[in-house]
Each structure stands twice: as structure tokens, then as C-alpha cells.
Structure 1
Amino acid sequence: MQRRVRAILGKVTATPRAVELAVAAARAASEKGATEVLALDVSEQLVITDVFVLAAAANDRQVRAVVDAIEDALHQLGSDVVRREGMSEARWVLLDFSDIVVHVQLAEDRQYYALERLWKDGPSIELPEDVTGPRSAYDSGTAGIAR
């Protein structure tokens, strides 16, 4: 399935496979009600992965549901989680699929840590609007910045 994907702040250097997995993970998260979904190309900054996918959930039950949906979706694409951290508390769960790393956080943690600020040197991967909804401060890179 071909999807329109482009960089917002620069050229995407992540592998096509990583981008495919990131879009699938973002879509699975969105379908379970995750908000503030964002994909960042970190392939120039890190050697261990190409893309970070960030998502927020309202409570620990939703964090778990989002994590399960992402694992199922990526398994169907032939990619299984290599490492999972944080499931016991379900405040911030990290899923390492090698090509991509997914961070599912409680909404308040997602806003507090604003990981996109730490990785702002890499381009954001524009996800299909049915995944992200209308552009938000997270998409434009202005989240957590005082006005």
C-alpha cells in the first residue's frame, strides 16, 4: 500500500522499511485513540534506529491497548518487538523494533518530556491525516515552547 510520506523540516534519510513501520505503528496507535502521534527521523543522530514514533494515551489501560495494537500491527508486517520497557507501570512504554522505536506515554508525560524537542534536528515524517488528525503543536515542533 503506497502512502504519501514526506519530511517537514528536511530530507528523510530513514529506510523505506522504517517509514513503513512507523506509519503502521502510528496508524495502530491512532485507531486505539492515541493522541499527539508523531514520527521523527532520527537516522542521522542515532545508529541504533531510524525512526521514533511518539504517542500519548489518557490512562494506563489505554497505554496498554495502544502498545498491544502496535505490536499486532507490526507483527503482521513481519516485525516483532525486540525489547519492551515500562509495561508494569504503563506510564511510558518503549517498544524497540530495531528499525523504529515507539514511545507510548501518558498524556501528561508526553507533554512534560516533549521528546520531539530533544530530537528537533531530525525531520518529522508527515503522517497521513487520518492518523494524526489536524496538525497540532507537536507536528509543527512548537510543543513545550513558551510563547
Structure 2
Amino acid sequence: MTKLEAVVKACEDKIAKDIVTIPIDPGLAIADYFVIATGNSRNQTQAIADEVEKVMNEMGFEHRGIEGYREGNWILLDFSDIIVHIFTTEDREYYDLERLWSK
């Protein structure tokens, strides 16, 4: 299982909705992929983030940073080549990252 597949599966295991992977243009040097997922509540977004972090740690990957965990509306996990965005429904609709980053 690839690192990207493991992130997606961890999201699925915590019943995340509308999981999307977006390849990032190599010239931007931000990351290789964004993974965007939605949770029904702040508790669920935190549970999804916890599961992603657990699975990545088990595979030997630690995050470089985590933002927004306490609030839980938009949690960002930075694994260097993969950046995971976990939103509540309202925040995902508001920020609409798919529109901004999709080609």
C-alpha cells in the first residue's frame, strides 16, 4: 500500500465523506498531493486526523506539522509530500480548495 493509499484508507476507516486526492504541479514544490476529506462534526474531523496520524506513524512517517486540531473545523496534517485537509461540511464548502487547486 502506498503512502497516499494509506491516507485515503485511514480517512475511509473513520467514515470521512467526499475524499478527494489532488495532484499538485511539481513546479510548486508544496507537496505532491492534497487529500481533502469531510467529517460530519468537529469530533469526527479530529477522529479522522487521529487515524491518519496513527496509520502514518505505523508506516514510519511523522507529520511535519498539524494545524486546526483544537478547533476541528479545518485540520491540516503536513506529511511533506502529502498534505491532508479535513473539514467540516460548512468549512469545506466555504474554502472550496478543490476549485482553487484542481486543474
Q: When the two structures are superposed, what TM-score results if normalisation uses the length of structure 1?
A: 0.66
Partners of 1:37 and 1:112 in 2: CA distance = 17
Alignment RMSD, CA only? 1.2
Paired residue for 2:10, among 6, 9, 28? Answer: 28
Q: When the two structures are superposed, what TM-score results if normalisation uses the length of structure 2?
A: 0.93
1:134 aligns with none
Report how many aligned residue pairs link the two structures: 103
The CA deviation at 1:45 is 4.9
Partners of 1:117 and 1:44 in 2: CA distance = 18
| Greater per-residue helix proportion | 2
Structure 2 residue 29 is matched with structure 1 residue 47: yes
For residues 118-133 of structure 1, the aligned pairs below 5 Å read: 118-121=100-103
Deviations 1:100-142 (CA, angstroms, capped at 9, x unpaired): 0000000111122221111112xxxxxxxxxxxxxxxxxxxxx
1:82 aligns with 64
1:137 aligns with none
Deviations 1:83-116 (CA, angstroms, capped at 9, x unpaired): 0000120100000000100000001111222211
Question: Which letter maps to 2:50?
Answer: D
1:66 aligns with 48
Partners of 1:118 and 1:69 in 2: CA distance = 26
- Which of structure 1's runs of 4+ aligned residues deviate more than 4 A? none
Mind listing any 5+ residue stretches in structure 1 that lack a counterpart? 2-19, 122-147
- Of 71-80 and 59-68, more deviation after overlay is shown by 71-80
Paired residue for 2:87, among 100, 105, 123? Answer: 105
| Greater per-residue strand proportion | 2
How high is the sequence identity, in percent, across the aligned residues?
38
Give the direction of change, closer, same or farther, for the CA distance of 1:80–1:43 in structure 2 (3 Å limit). Answer: farther
- Of 63-72 and 37-46, more deviation after overlay is shown by 37-46
Q: Which has the higher contact order (CA 8 A, sep 6+)?
A: 1
Give the direction of change, closer, same or farther, for the CA distance of 1:45–1:116 in structure 2 (3 Å limit). Answer: farther
